[in-house]
Amino acid sequence: MWEVDGPGRAGEHGERPVIRVYLLDDHELVRRGTRELLESQGDIVVVGESGLAQEAARRIPALRPDVAVLDQRLPDGSGVEVCRQVRSVDPAIAAVILTSYDEDEALFSAIMAGAAGYVLKQVRGNDFVETVRRVAAGQSMLDPAVTAQVLARLRDGPPEDSVTKHLTPKEHQVLDLVGEGLTNRQIAERLELAEKTVKNYVSTVLGKLGVESRTQAAIIATRQHETERRRPGGSSAGR
């Protein structure tokens, strides 16, 4: 929610290029720590920061940083979507997605949005600074093998969802109905099962998905439906 005036993009003024960075993270302490780390280097200046996606999408093109460091998960959106919006306005702005989660789907989305880097928050400080410097210089910090997987996915379509592939056909049905917001009693009526049996199915599904709540399972079900729709044939038949 603040910004500073500074030199132009890296290499535009002076003998020592100054790298201009914008920070997007909904945790103020994370932003403060990241800013202190970067600005302690001497050749990096943070020109602005915010904690909301929509605000960042408006301000980043105006500030024209060399690098935008974008948190993946935000209260009002995602860093990937901000990356897509910003680069549609100014492709010269390099984006680094900073996340706590190592997820194939998020990585795929980041690459498709034009991100130059995808970094876990557990990264060492020196490695993170090096990533910022390299993407500011026009380099990609994405593993070539990962890029190849993305190209293969574009060619062949999305793979089977690795989160739900271990569910039985009946468990898939239960998950779908949880995703529709049905209660155990309603699911029991729909599938002609005892309510206790449905309760056991739900517990099993939550365990296999590695989540603790029905809400989390419903989100996974929604993502699964989106994946199915994008596949050739777009059907979940055969479950």
Per-residue HEC secondary structure of the chain comes to CEECCCCCCCCCCCCCCCEEEEEECCCHHHHHHHHHHHHCCCCEEEEEEECCHHHHHHHHHHHCCCEEEEECEECCEEHHHHHHHHHHHCCCCEEEEEECCCCHHHHHHHHHCCCCEEEECCCCHHHHHHHHHHHHCCCCCCCHHHHHHHHHHHHHCCCCCCCCCCCCHHHHHHHHHHHCCCCHHHHHHHHCCCHHHHHHHHHHHHHHHCCCCHHHHHHHHHHHHHHHHHCCCCCCCCC
- pLDDT given at position 212: 78
- pLDDT given at position 221: 81
- pLDDT given at position 14: 47
- pLDDT given at position 106: 73
In whole angstroms, give the CA distance from residue 99 to residue 122. Answer: 9
- pLDDT given at position 209: 82
In whole angstroms, give the CA distance from residue 17 to residue 60. Answer: 20
- pLDDT given at position 54: 93
- pLDDT given at position 29: 94
- Give the residue among 29, 33, 13, 3 at the shortest CA–CA distance from 21: 3
The pTM of the full predicted model, rounded to 2 decimals, is 0.60
In this structure, which amino acid lies at residue 80? V
- pLDDT given at position 148: 64
Question: Phi/psi zone of residue 172: left (φ > 0), alpha (ψ -120 to 50 degrees), beta?
Answer: alpha
- pLDDT given at position 66: 97
- pLDDT given at position 12: 46
Residue 94 burial (CB < 10 Å; 0-12/13-18/19+)?
Answer: buried
Q: Which residues in the chain land under pLDDT 50?
A: 1-3, 5-7, 11-14, 232-239
- pLDDT given at position 56: 97
- pLDDT given at position 161: 57
Alpha-carbon radius of gyration of the chain: 22
In whole angstroms, give the CA distance from residue 124 to residue 23. Answer: 17
- Specify the residue for token string 């034009």: 114
Angle at 82 between CA 25 and CA 153, to 5 degrees: 115
Report the chain's terminal Cα–Cα distance, integer Å.
49
